[in-house]
Amino acid sequence: MRLSIVTPLQVAVDEPDVLSVRAEDNSGSFGILPGHADFLTSLAISIVRWQRRDASSGLCAVRGGVMTVASGSEISIATREAVVGTDLATLDEVVLERFHGELDEERTQNVEATRLHLDMIRRLVARAGVASGADAM
């Protein structure tokens, strides 16, 4: 199988000879073997693991993303950020912790932006109501 992991800025992984892939979506961890049915899922912030034909393995922390399996042999992951590593402990502790922290920060920023938008809409509606009342007199 061929595994590719891409971000908007780079091809992080391009492995042409993969025997198996392990990933995680919101329902939990799952595996992909040769001949897998076509598949599409949204990945969680997690570590993607794969086994090469030469018995070595690979690891890549992904910041969410979309995984597709096509023709039972082409596995593609598109993600916002990917960090390839060799040490599971480092990827797990440092990178995933950073990804989760950035996600929490983005959520807070989105909440604040939504509050500002709603406040602006309320003010516009209030002004429109005042202007309509003045026109009626």
Q: What's the pLDDT score for residue 131?
A: 64
Q: What is the pTM of this model?
A: 0.69
Q: Are strands 74-78 and 2-6 parallel, antiparallel or unpaired?
A: parallel
Q: What's the pLDDT score for residue 10?
A: 93
Torsions phi, psi of 98, nearest 5?
Answer: -65, -45
Domain 2-126 = CATH 2.60.15.10: yes
For all residues of the chain together, what is the average pLDDT?
86
Question: 136: pLDDT confidence band, cut at 50, 70 and 90?
Answer: low
Distance CA(42)–CA(123), nearest Å, equals 38
Residues in contact with 70: Cβ distance below 8 Å, sequence separation at least 6, in sequence order: 38, 76
The domain segmentation of the chain, as residue ranges, is: 2-126
What does the pLDDT look like over 14-61, one tens digit per residue?
A: 999 999 999 999 999 999 999 999 999 999 888 899 999 998 999 998
15 burial via Cβ count (<10 Å: 0-12, 13-18, 19+): middle
3-state secondary structure at position 99: helix
The answer to which of 22-26, 63-67, 132-136 has the lowest mean pLDDT is 132-136
Question: Is residue 85 predicted with pLDDT exceeding 70?
Answer: yes
Whether residue 113 contacts residue 106, with contact meaning beta carbons closer than 8 Å, is answered with no
